[in-house]
Amino acid sequence: MANYQNHLVDPTYFFDCIEEFAFDYDLFVVVEQNIDDYGKQVNQYQLQTIRGSLQTDGLRVNQSKKGNIAANSYNFYCKSLYRINIGDIIKYKDNYLQVNSVHEYDEWGVRECSLSMIQLAAYRDLANYIDYLKGEKIIW
């Protein structure tokens, strides 16, 4: 019987597979977290580019007495060279997707994370940073 516990896999094959389906995305990385005078968490972001494959996980409708909310969720796969953390935000087709969970890279060097769509109005600090990048605000 073969022993498969300590096998060696060449990660370049999986890097090529990811690259086959990869695109460049804008990534807003949380570089600093502060608490303001009112006890609210305020994040500071930095714009970077990440290359990976974004796959839809489906559209879900959450029903409640307050109203039905449609929520999109996605999975993102990239090379282990990229560092992505919970709270970072990827821009896709003028939608903003926040990282909910991160799975550290596996033995093949693939990093996976789960994302969900957010409303930009609920993230005022990110909205201010995006306005600054567009030139609509002078001070960030």
Any idea where the domains of the chain sit in the sequence? 16-134
> What tokens does 19 get?
């690259």
pLDDT tens-digit series, residues 69-102 = 777 889 998 887 788 889 999 999 988 999 999 8
At 107 the pLDDT is 62
Closest C-alpha to 23, from 41, 3, 50, 61: 50
Residue 49: Cβ-neighbour burial (10 angstroms; 0-12, 13-18, 19+): exposed
The answer as to CATH 1.10.3720 being correct for domain 16-134 is no
pTM above 0.85? no
- Phi first, then psi, for residue 15 (nearest 5°) are -60, -40
